[in-house]
Structures are given as C-alpha cells and as structure tokens.
Structure 1
Amino acid sequence: MRPAIRRSASRRSFRRSGHARRWAAALGVGALVVTGGGLLAGPAQAAATASVAVDFPTHCIPPAIAGIPPIDGTTSAEITVDNAAPKVGETVTVTYTVVTAAASNPVELALPADIMTPTGTVTLGGAQSGSVTVAGPKKNDPVPPKGAFPSFSMTGTFTVTAPGEITLSPGDYNIHTSYIMELDTPCTVTDPPAPVSQRIIATQDGGGEVNKRTISLGTASGKPGDRVTVTGAEFTPGAAVTVAGWNGSGPTADRITAEAAGDGTFTFRPAISDPATVGIVAFEGASWDPAKGAGPQAYTLTGGGEIPDNSQRLTSSVRAGTLTMSQAGDAVALSAVDFGQGGASSGALNTVTVKDFRGGPAGWSLTGKVTDFTGPGGAVIGASALGWKPACATRSGSPSTCAAGSEGSVGSAGATLASTPDGAFTGGEFTVDAGLTLDVPAFTAPGAYAGVLTLTLT
C-alpha cells in the first residue's frame, strides 16, 4: 500500500552570517552594565521607607551575531522610591537597581568604560496597575574578560491615581552596547511578575478632580527614527491627543496627534529622533498641560557607535534565509496483511528535513492529513485507520529544539508531526520521521489500497 506524499511550505526571511558572529565574538559583545544616575527628576518628596532586594529567574538573549546561546540566570534587584507615602495626583520617582545581573561578560576581552545604556520596566500592582519605564545613563566601569558586571541603576516616574497600597516589582530590562556596533541584550523575567521589592501607601489628597490619564511604552529605548508604541488610558473619549518626545522640561518636535477612542484609550506609534529626548508624554489640547496629560515615561535614544582611537569600523550584511522542507521520497509501501485476519499494515514515513534559516522569533509546525484508502470495487479503509508515531531530531547548534507530535491517528482532519516553539531567537535544521500503521479490518476485500498523506509546514 503506497500513500503518496505531497508537501507545502510557508517561507519567512531572516538574516545571519558566521563571519558576523566571529567578528562580534572578537569585539566581546554580550550583556551590559551601567552605574548610577537617573533621567527624569521629580519633585522633592519625603524619604522612602526601606525596600528589599529580591532575586528572580531571568532569561537573557545576547546579540545574535555574538554566536552564544541564551543565558538563564538569577537577577538580584531592588526598587526604591523618593516618596513612600504619596497623595493621589503626586508624582513618584522610581529607581530600579540591578544589584547582580543574570549574565557576565561572555568573552575573553575587556569591555571599555561608558559604552552601555540600560532601560527597563517596573511593574505596579495592588491599588494601581501598569508599568513604569526606567532608563539609566551611558556610564559604566570597564568590564574585565569573563568578568561579572557591576551594579547599575535606572530611573523613571509615575503619577499616583488611586489610594491604597501600591506594590513595585522589577520587570524586564535591556542593556544597549555602543561599541563598534549598536547591539542589545534583552533580559526578561522568566515567571512574571518578579517578587515585590517596594510597597508604598497612597492617600486621597482631598482636593479637586484627579488626573487619571496614563501612558505605557512598548519599549524604553530605540534608534533615532524608530517608532515606539505608546498606549494611553483614561483620556477624554474622542479628544485629540498628542504624543510627543520629552526633553526634561517640555515636548520636542517629535510628535503625532490623533483621536482617543470612545473608551478614552489609544495606541499611537510616533517616530522619535530628537537627541534631547529623555521621555515620552501625551496630552490633550494644543500644548503640554500636566492637568490633561500623562507622563513623562522614560525613553532613551540609542546610537553613536563611537570608534576608539586607532580602530576601524567594519560592516557586513546577512542575506535573508527561508523556512523550507524536503523529503527523501514521495511513496511508502506498507506491509501486506491477510484477508480474514487484517491487522497492522506498517511502514515508515520518508524522512523529512526542515531548515529554518529565518532567525526571527517564530517557530514552525509540520502537520499532516490523509485521505481515505481506496481499493478494488470501491472498497474503502477510512482515513482514521492510519496512525503514526512521530520522531524529531535537532541538528547540533540549532537555536530551536524540535518536539515530536503525539502518537495517534492522523485522519482527514490532520495531526501535528513535529514543531518548534516561538522564542526570542529561533532557527536550525531538523529531521522528522514517523512509524506508520494502517489498521486494516479482518475481512477487507483483497487488493491494493492507496491514500495520499499531505504534509504542510507553517
């Protein structure tokens, strides 16, 4: 019995180069470090009560061209505030200090001073939810080869909108390197939210109307001209809202204006390029009015790539790759069974090779479905009678790991043969096999039966 095999594939592009990986390794590209300072100053407040340092598992992704795998480690961090007993409507300055980063310098090469810039988020909970973006200055001590990164701090602000206990937990952070190349190392909380590091108690101010407008950013940093996703809430429904860069005392020329939705929310994506930008604000009306606005949320423009003395900037490009599959053959002869006994007609799927050379965040899924098996005189063995036992192997060095589908019936509705998950960085080469079994009823009419198994890669 010969199930013919067809295939289809969706293709996505990606960029990669072994030469670039070797060059990045020579530069010592990896996780980053910054010390001290803050970007967005708030009004003077009472001293904050003691916070606690907390530990949490973190997943860090070194720059792809560094050619090193993700780093799973523990981050030790602490959140402090300038006012632990604010009133509703007041601004609180938040400092996120990474005491011990989850990763260290991965190469045998010292990293110079003042090349690293950190950004991140602080997660709010309790009486007020949301996140606060924080950023630090481009300042760090030299890092020795394979050495641990020293502590670094990031600051930001938020406006208190509700009375009660507000909790603050460390969130994701990213460290940007400006040394020969502009590269990022994002570190995410493995099981968010991280433990609470700071608690503040907010009280009602007893005054007039409280401005509850808020904004949050999709990222706390970007290159000049990059667009940042800004999400707002509690604005006047249908009002014209302007989202703009913030230079520390007022809006910059980088701005976009559109209407808030009927529920007072919006999502805008302004391009930010003014080098004076240290934050993002949103406001109703023709000009900045804190009573009808929100922010600033910390935002840092990255770039520069200063070249040290007696150095040369080298550049390269990586051609786009694709997601493809191939198979060792298009026909499988299953074993014969005896009339009156029936049973398992077995064989093996022709080996399928999947090559995911896109290098992006998407995984893939390889599925199959089969037609009924037709025989002499219109006799039929139903599609549900074909079962498989999948197996999948991952080539050494592949960023992704292949998972075999479940053993069971294939059928006309289809089943998963193998897959890889989405991730911060995916790709690789994989071989997929399966044992095939057709359950033939005992008194099936003698003769040859054939069905078509179709594989689809997405």
Structure 2
Amino acid sequence: MTARSRWPAAALGVLALAALGVPANAASPVDPGEATGAVEFPTHCLPPQEAGLPPADGPTTALVTVDDPAPEVGDTVTVTYQVTRTAAVNPLDAELPADVLTPTGKVVLGGAQTGEVTVTGPKRNGPVPGHGAFPAFTMTGTFTVTEPGEITLAPGGYTLHTSHLMELDTPCTTDPADPAPVAERLTATAVPGANTRALSLAAAAGKPGAKVRVTGAGFTPGAAVTVAGRTGAAETADKVTALADGLGVVLAELPVTDRATTAVVAYEGPAWTAERGTGPATYAVIEAAPLPPGTQKIGLTVEPGALSMTQAGEEITLTAVPYGQGGTAEGRIHTVTVKDQRGGPAGWALTGRLTDFTGPGGVRIDGAGLTWTPVCATRQGSPSTCVPGTPGPVGAEGATLASTPDASLVGGEFTVDAEVALTVPPYTAPGSYAAVLTLTLS
C-alpha cells in the first residue's frame, strides 16, 4: 500500500504509513475583608533576543489605584498602575539615556465586571546603567463601568519598550496559575438607563501605522459604530466604521497612523456623545528614536516558514510469526523528519493512530496489540529539543510519537523513529495482514 501525505494551510501534517504486514507562591489573593495596597507577584521577564540575556524570573511590586472608588454605571474610571520594582533589566551593555523607556500594560478586572484595562506610561526615565535594573514607572488608562457591584483590580503583564540605538521590547508576563493578587477595589452603583457601551484594545501601544484590534460591547444591535482615535477631547485622523452584531458586539481593526492619537473611542451616530459613546481606552504611538548624526539604520526582515514533515519510506514489513505458536512480530517505522521554521512560541506534537490488521477473508488482528518505543534526535543548533513519546500501545485512540515544548522562540529540524512490536495470537490464520498507521503533526 502507498502512503499519502498532505499538509493543510494550518500546517497540520497527516501521514499515512501503509501496511504493517505479517506473512502468517508567591503572592496569594487578598481576602475580601483585607485592605488593598502595594502587592507583590511573580513575573517572567523575557529580554529581547538581540540582547543574548537569559529570562529574568522575579517579583514585581506594584500599586493600582483609581480616581473614583464609588462610580456609577456608565462612568469612566481612570486607573493608575505603578510598578516600584521589576525583575526586568536594561537589555543593552551600554547605559540607556534618560527618557527612552515607554511602559505599557494591562490591569485585570474581576468581580462584578471582568475584562482588562490597557494602560500606558510616558517616555520618562532617568539613565539606566548597562544591564541595570529598570527604575519605577507609572502607567494610566481608563475603562467604562458597565455593571453594578464590587469590581476588583489586579496588576497584569507589562512591556518595557526602549528606544536607543535600536527598538527593543522586554515583556514581563504573569503566571495564569499564580496571578497577581487584588490591589484595588471599587463599588459601582446602578443607574437606570445608564450608558454601558465599552471597548477594549488588544494592544496598548504600536508603531505608527500599526493596526489595533478593538472589541466593543453594549451597542445597539445592527448599528453602525465609529471607532476613532482621540487626543484629549478631539478626534484624530484615525477612524473606521463597523456594524454591531445581534448581541451589540463590535469587532474592528483600527490603523493608527496619526501620531497624535493617545486613546481610542467608539460611538453610534455622527459624533461622539457621552450618551452613545464609550469612554476612551488608552493607546500609545511609539515612534523610533532619531538616529544620531552620521549614522544609518539598516533594516532586515526574517520571514517565518512552516511546520512540515517528510518520511523516508512508505511500507513496513514486520518479522514473520509461525502459525500455531503466535508470538511477537517486530519492525521499525520509517524515519520521519520534522522541520519547524515558524519562529513562534508554539511547540509541536507528532501523534499516531492505528487501525486493526486485516488479513485473508476479513480475519482481523487487534491493532491494540501493537506497541512502539519512540526515539527522536535534534539537529545541532535547533532552538527546540525533541522529546520522544512514552513507550506503549498506539491503538485507535492514538499516542504521542514525539514533541517539543512551547518556548519564547522555537524551531529546528528533528528526526523521529520508533521500534514497533505486534502481539500475534496462536493459530491466527496464515496470510498477509495490513493496517494503517496515521501520523498527525500539529
């Protein structure tokens, strides 16, 4: 039998091998009764690849405050996120001069209202020594209160962008299994007929011309909604229109080209009003630092590739088993080569599923009797390391042949093999038997 291989657009590989044949802690959440204030939580800070530094794991100490602890539904609340200590460091050997650091981040809402608040900070800092710890910084943002009751606020991840010699980002993420504790609380009061339109941004900052994904809620179903950039009380040149769906939700992408844009709003009607528009969501346009005199900037793009696999052969023949005695038929699958040239953070898994063996007159041998012992090798220089699957049965339910873990940057070339053994019962009818082993790469 002949194997057929195909790779869909999503880079999932399906490989059919024909015929195995036989001739016969950190911080804990704050209790509701406890006072809120400065909190400490674990963070994972990833220096830019250009720096050649290892990740920095350590605590972040932060304070979250609001300008109105007792708002009404429909009010816009300003949130301040102040980081007083971070594990992140200057990624350069050289000193960072003053005012080249732009922080952006998220504050996580919980309780009566869930979601995230985008926050940004000004480009303001003192000089930072080479590989020295970043100083304290402050970020602010706003959100619209849409639900009555107690709303909790907790610090989320943040990114430190530096503009000196080159544009570099140092993201610091929180652990979903051990998130930051609640740092602030407010109690919202219901108001009949209050405007509950709200929006959130997928990113808190971007370069001029970058598109930011916008999600709005609370709009009139089917209404035309304008999403626009804003600076103070005035609109900027950035504007798109989208339709609210049957639930009043709006999804849009806003290209932010106007360097004056400092926030994004959404509204129904010809112009923004407090009755038919959202409060502003903070956004920062990050421009590249001007080059020193006598220097030239050289740009380079590394294009991502695909996740793919190939096999060294298509048909496998197991050792013969004598009629009347049964026993173990042994063999080896053909080598599978996996190439991961995507360059992203996601690892891959190569899994297999096996059908029953079919022989003369429809006689079957249970495919669950076949086991494999996977092995894999990683080509030198590959960022990822291949991990073989656990030895054991394959069967119709499937098993893992090999995989690589998720990481900040993955990729490489890998070879995967497996020794296989099939238990054949005594007095199995003589003849040739075949099954299909399907490998899936995802």
Which range, TM-score by smaller chain? 0.7 to 0.9
SS in 2 for 1:228: strand
For structure 1, which runs of at least 5 residues remain unmatched after alignment? Answer: 14-48
Q: Is the 8 A contact 2:63 2:82 kept in 1?
A: yes
SS in 2 for 1:384: helix
Q: Distance in 1 between matches of 2:90 and 2:322?
A: 66
Q: Distance in 1 between matches of 2:146 and 2:173?
A: 27
Aligned residue in 1 for 2:48: 63
TM-score, normalised with respect to structure 1: 0.80
SS in 1 for 2:368: helix
Q: Distance in 1 between matches of 2:4 and 2:55?
A: 36
- What letter is aligned with 1:177? T
Aligned residue in 1 for 2:66: 81
- What letter is aligned with 2:132? G
Q: Is the 8 A contact 1:124 1:131 kept in 2?
A: yes
**Offset of 1:298 from its aligned partner?**
0.5
- Of 158, 161, 166, the match for 1:173: 158
Q: Is the 8 A contact 2:344 2:410 kept in 1?
A: yes
Aligned residue in 1 for 2:80: 95
- Of 187, 191, 212, the match for 1:228: 212
Q: Distance in 1 between matches of 2:7 and 2:223?
A: 46
Does 2:351 align with 1:367?
yes
Aligned residue in 2 for 1:197: 183
- Of 308, 312, 319, the match for 2:296: 312
Aligned residue in 2 for 1:34: none
- What letter is aligned with 2:160? I
For structure 2, which runs of at least 5 residues remain unmatched after alignment? Answer: 12-33
SS in 2 for 1:306: coil
Larger strand percent: 2
- What letter is aligned with 1:141? G
Q: Distance in 2 between matches of 1:450 and 1:128?
A: 58
Aligned residue in 2 for 1:134: 119
**Offset of 1:371 from its aligned partner?**
5.0
Q: Is the 8 A contact 2:51 2:91 kept in 1?
A: no
- Of 237, 253, 257, the match for 1:273: 257
Q: Distance in 2 between matches of 1:50 and 1:158?
A: 23
- Of 406, 409, 426, the match for 1:425: 409
Q: Distance in 1 between matches of 2:303 and 2:240?
A: 34
Moved more, 289-298 or 307-316: 307-316
TM-score, normalised with respect to structure 2: 0.83
Moved more, 93-102 or 395-404: 395-404
**Offset of 1:378 from its aligned partner?**
6.5
Aligned residue in 2 for 1:29: none
Q: Is the 8 A contact 1:9 1:456 kept in 2?
A: no
- Provide, for residues 297-350 of structure 1, a one-character-per-residue CA deviation record: whole Å limited to 9, x for no partner: 100112223213443322223244332334455554534434323222223334
Aligned residue in 2 for 1:39: none
Aligned residue in 1 for 2:331: 347
Q: Is the 8 A contact 1:51 1:80 kept in 2?
A: no
Q: Distance in 2 between matches of 1:423 and 1:166?
A: 34
Aligned pairs for 1:442-457 within 5 A: 442-446=426-430, 449-457=433-441
Classify 1:166/1:376 alpha carbon distance in 2 versus 1 (closer, same or farther; 3 Å). Answer: closer
Q: Distance in 2 between matches of 1:120 and 1:186?
A: 9
Classify 1:253/1:176 alpha carbon distance in 2 versus 1 (closer, same or farther; 3 Å). Answer: same
Aligned residue in 2 for 1:32: none
SS in 1 for 2:37: coil
Classify 1:430/1:143 alpha carbon distance in 2 versus 1 (closer, same or farther; 3 Å). Answer: farther
Classify 1:351/1:106 alpha carbon distance in 2 versus 1 (closer, same or farther; 3 Å). Answer: farther
